[in-house]
Amino acid sequence: MRTIALRQALREAMEEEMRRDERVFLMGEEVAQYNGAYKVSQGMLDEFGPKRIIDTPITELGFAAIGVGAAMNNTRPIVEFMTWNFAELAIDQIVNHAAKVVSMSAGQFTCPIVFRGPNGSAGQLGAQHSQAFENWYANVPGLKVISTCNPYDAKGLLKSAIRDEDPIVFMESEVAYGDMGEVPEEEYLIPIGKADVKRAGTDVTIVSYNKMMKVAMGAAEELAKENISAEVIDLRTIRPLDWHTIVGSVKKTNRLVIVEEQWPFSSISSEISYRIQKEAFDYLDAPIRRICSADANMHYAGNLVALYLPDVPRTVKLVKEVMYMVK
């Protein structure tokens, strides 16, 4: 199978959906003439023209609102945020408006919009440019939240997101746009709300998503050298949460470790832990454990960034703790 970069997988998803449906357009900062701040929309202006690939001023609240209004009125906008940090300016439109259109209008109006862009840290960018927001949006009824940086999953899920009738928060990763992965030439869709077992195993379940999947897979690799068999689940969709897949795995492994880039308080791991202790209490042989980003703002210095983020050695150690191999 051919391999392509994440940015190309995302671009193909948008291009295919735009060819298929006139109502789909892309709007955001530097998406057109500059070909995207991270080159995700490279070449799209050439194919679709300025009517459908639209550069905006730096006005996140404003263009998110244009997207919401347009989505209520028979179009299907894709609104790109240069990063999700900047979408904080637009959160009013996403949470107070997009998420509530169906409810407030008693189903008369819908808001089929995709808000997308890179989420999470990307090196030494300091406190304002390094935040991961999955749990913020996953808390909101009316929104669906997808978070992935795997090229195959990203393409199939973005296509589903663009076709979905509900507002979608779609989170990518700046440091993964160049990551290569196998993506078929033929068209495919991946359903929203389905996790994927990326590595089968029997001793412990590791759940993760987006770029922390690399840590989870790296840890599984290390553990395999010591004959510990880890099953690794990529959530892909955060809301709705596919807890059935996790329960299925935990029934087999009896142990669960979650790796995520969220801050720990009220995070996705908090939610998973509640659900699994309720649905699989009798199957757990150890407390559910997690490794998150530090409960802190990210500092600039390289050593403090490394300490802040989950990594393979600490994940390996955590797995050994739930297996009662180390204290």
Ligand X SMILES: Cc1ncc(C[n+]2csc(CCOP(=O)(O)OP(=O)(O)O)c2C)c(N)n1
d(CA 25, CA 27): 7
Sign of CA dihedral 195, 197, 202, 206: negative
Q: Out of 16, 88, 129, 279, which one is annotated catalytic?
A: 129
Sign of CA dihedral 102, 104, 108, 113: negative
- By CB under 6 A, the count of residues binding ligand X is 6
d(CA 30, CA 38): 9
Q: Which is nearer to ligand X, 121 or 254 (CB)?
A: 121
Q: Which of residues 256-295 bind ligand X (CB under 6 A)?
A: none
Torsion of CA 56, 4, 171, 111, to 10 degrees: 60
Single residue of 60, 153, 174, 271 touching ligand X by CB under 6 A? 60
Biggest alpha carbon–alpha carbon distance for the chain: 60
For position 29 contacting ligand X by CB under 6 A, the verdict is yes
The verdict on whether 129 is a catalytic residue reads yes
Three-state DSSP string of 2-33? CEEEHHHHHHHHHHHHHHHCCCEEEEECCCCC
State in angstroms the smallest separation of the CB of 159 from other proteins.
28
User: Which partner from the list other proteins, ligand X, none does 103 bind, CB cut-off 5 to 8 Å by kind?
Assistant: none
Helix 243-253 to helix 268-279 angle, to the nearest 10 degrees? 60
Q: Which is nearer to ligand X, 29 or 242 (CB)?
A: 29
State in angstroms the smallest separation of the CB of 161 from other proteins.
26
- By CB under 8 A, the count of residues binding other proteins is 39
Q: Bridge partners of 27? A: 54, 79
For position 86 contacting ligand X by CB under 6 A, the verdict is yes
d(CA 122, CA 126): 10
User: Which partner from the list ligand X, other proteins, none does 126 bind, CB cut-off 5 to 8 Å by kind?
Assistant: other proteins
The verdict on whether 30 is a catalytic residue reads no
Terminal CA-CA length for the chain? 44
Q: Which is nearer to other proteins, 81 or 152 (CB)?
A: 81
Residues that bind ligand X (CB under 6 A): 29, 58, 60, 82, 86, 89
Residues that bind other proteins (CB under 8 A): 29-30, 33-34, 37, 55, 57-59, 61-62, 85-86, 88-89, 123-129, 264-265, 289-290, 292, 294-297, 299-304, 307-308
Which residues does the annotation mark as catalytic?
60, 129
